Structure 1
Amino acid sequence: MSQQRPKIFGNIPKLPARWAMIMIPFILSCLMSGIISCINMLRNLGWFEGFLTVWFHNWMLSWAIAFPIVLTLLPLVRKFTGLLVDMQGLQPPQK
């Protein structure tokens, strides 16, 4: 009998671990673009009737740009971080 994958909820299975490298930037770019676009709109325009509709439209446009940028720049950021941070402490000791 095959082992069943853990479920998110209901009958929807969790994604395999290899998807984490896509899901982390996907979720991070979603949150960052949403928060930043909301703050920028509030600072520049203030609250107005229909704000959420305009913000949501701008957020989706921002996210469509942010996600591919994050995916593209993430390997470069990791390399640059390695120049500034001793990454050996993050890896398990070698036997």
Structure 2
Amino acid sequence: MKPFVPRRLEPVAYGLLLTGMMSCVVSGISTAIASGVHGGFFLRWMSAWAPSWAVAFPVVLVVAPLVRRILKRIVAA
């Protein structure tokens, strides 16, 4: 497949994919612990995941520059 995201948008695409995958896994685990894995689990999971991702993505876009600055101070060159 030919790349279609411009290089300048790579950090945004990275954040979108990372938060999507992480929020999916975490919401699935949390939903399973809270309500068990039985009938209707998938719908409950997706209902938890969608708003989680909607929050996680903009938070990562805002917090990522701060994390990069902190890492520059604590990671040896």
Pick the aligned partner of 2:74 from 73, 76, 84: 84
Distance 2:26 2:51 in 1: 13
Question: Helix, strand or coil for the counterpart of 1:15?
Answer: coil
The residue identity in structure 2 corresponding to 1:37 is S
Distance 1:38 1:58 in 2: 8
Larger radius of gyration: 1
Gaps of 5+ in 1: 1-5, 9-13, 89-95
Q: Give the Å deviation of 1:7.
A: 2.1
1:30-74, Cα deviation, whole Å (9 max, x unpaired): 011100000111112111211101111110110000000000000
Q: Aligned residues: percent identity?
A: 34
Pick the aligned partner of 2:10 from 9, 13, 20: 20
Runs of 4+ in 1 over 2 A off after TM superposition: none
Distance 2:49 2:31 in 1: 10
Alignment of 1:1-80 (within 5 A): 7=2, 14-80=4-70
TM-score by length of 2: 0.91
Distance 2:11 2:56 in 1: 16
Q: CA RMSD in A?
A: 1.3
Larger proportion of helix:
2
Question: Helix, strand or coil for the counterpart of 1:7?
Answer: coil
Larger proportion of strand:
1
TM-score by length of 1: 0.75
